[in-house]
Amino acid sequence: MNYRLTVNGRAAEVDVPGGTPLSDVLRDHLHLRGTKVSCGTGRCGSCTVRLGDRAVASCLLPVALAEAEPVTTVEGLSAPDGPLHPVQEAMVSCHGVQCGACTPGMVMTLSTFLDTTADPDAGQVREALTGNLCRCTGYHTIVDAALTAAAATRTPREDRP
């Protein structure tokens, strides 16, 4: 079957069975390997991408259900040679990254979360992160990054110190 997707603003067409997980399509067909697959059962969140305005586990999403809305992966969050998204920037500056295998999923979950929750507290961030496992950091610096990114997003770039 042919499926027409919009991924990171580009039209893409793939010929795969409709039940193929979106994560496999992204990684193996569209060569977007920033999206990681760590458990394949929707528990770890490494494969999180944005579908429309929602964060979804792309390892559980059949490609046939991904046609209606645009898909954004970590590669589409900021231009490859452009400035980082505030969440990406804060993950670097707050030391929210260690091995990095969870990082793309964390970035996608947090950037989607902050779109609807501009001024969260730490508890809300932790709730939002329960679907994303990290084995390295103990999460504290990732929570710091989310709060830092939220503050930066509320402050226009030119007004930042």
Would you say 4 or 95 has its CB closer to other proteins? 95
Q: Which CB, 4 or 133, lies closer to other proteins? A: 133
Give CA separation, 151 vs 31, 108, 117, in Å.
33, 17, 11
For other proteins, the binding residues (CB under 8 A) are 27, 32-41, 43-44, 46, 73-75, 78, 80, 84, 87-88, 91-93, 95, 97-104, 107, 125-127, 129-130, 132-143
In the sheet where 10-15 sits, what is the strand order? 10-15, 2-7, 71-72, 48-51, 54-57
Between 112 and 141, CB nearer to other proteins: 141
- Least distance in Å: CB of 51 to other proteins? 17
Distance CA 130, CA 148 (A): 19
**What is the pairing mode between strands 71-72 and 48-51?**
antiparallel
For residue 64, the minimal CB distance to other proteins (Å) is 18
How far lies 127's CA from each of 64, 121, 123, in Å?
30, 10, 6
Name the residue nearer to other proteins (CB basis): 112 or 137: 137
Question: Least distance (Å) from other proteins to the CB of residue 37?
Answer: 8
The C-alpha angle with vertex 113 and arms to 95 and 19, in degrees rounded to 5, equals 105
Q: How far is the CB of 39 from other proteins (least distance, A)?
A: 5
